[in-house]
Amino acid sequence: MKMSTRKKINPVRDKSLNGVNKIPSNFQGILWSVNVKNLDLEKDKVYIIHQVLEYGDLNEIAWLFRVYSKKEVRRVFEKMPMKVYRPQGFNFIKDIILGLEKKQISSERYVTTLY
């Protein structure tokens, strides 16, 4: 049996973001206000986290947790609110996705209305 001498090539990636170094181009629909090519995963994380939580599907939210730790997503959600959520979306994200159902968080700093 012949052994392969080929080495696997691992691309250089930013280890601080769990090996992810760019946002998938198909996220443009949920990160619509900026070209995803121009977003920085660290500098723009507040915008990225809130937009993906509110407008992303479960696969996109799973990607979010591969990039940022659950602790970091919770910290951004609690300490840096953005008024982008619908009432149902806010409660689902807060209670189910982030597991903050026992925490008193006022929706006034998160929920936007059309009226």
pLDDT tens digit sequence for 58-113: 999 999 999 999 999 999 999 999 999 999 899 999 999 999 999 999 999 999 97
Q: What is the predicted pLDDT for the residue at 21?
A: 78
Whether residue 115 lies inside any domain: the answer is: no
14 belongs to a structural domain: no
Residue 12 domain flag: no
Could you tell me the CA-to-CA distances from 79 to 5, 37, 64, 67 in Å, in that order? 51, 26, 18, 19
d(CA 20, CA 101): 30
| Residue 100 within any structural domain of the chain | yes
Considering its fold, how many domains does the chain have in total?
1
Higher pLDDT: 19 or 70? It is: 70
Work out the mean pLDDT of the chain and round it to a whole number: 85
Task: Burial-class residue 30 by CB neighbours within 10 Å (0-12, 13-18, 19+).
Answer: middle
70 within a domain of the structure (yes/no)? yes
Above 90 in pLDDT, residue 7? Answer: no
Residue 13 has pLDDT above 80, yes or no: no
Answer yes or no: is 79 within a domain: yes
Domain-located, residue 16: no
Indicate whether 67 belongs to any domain: yes
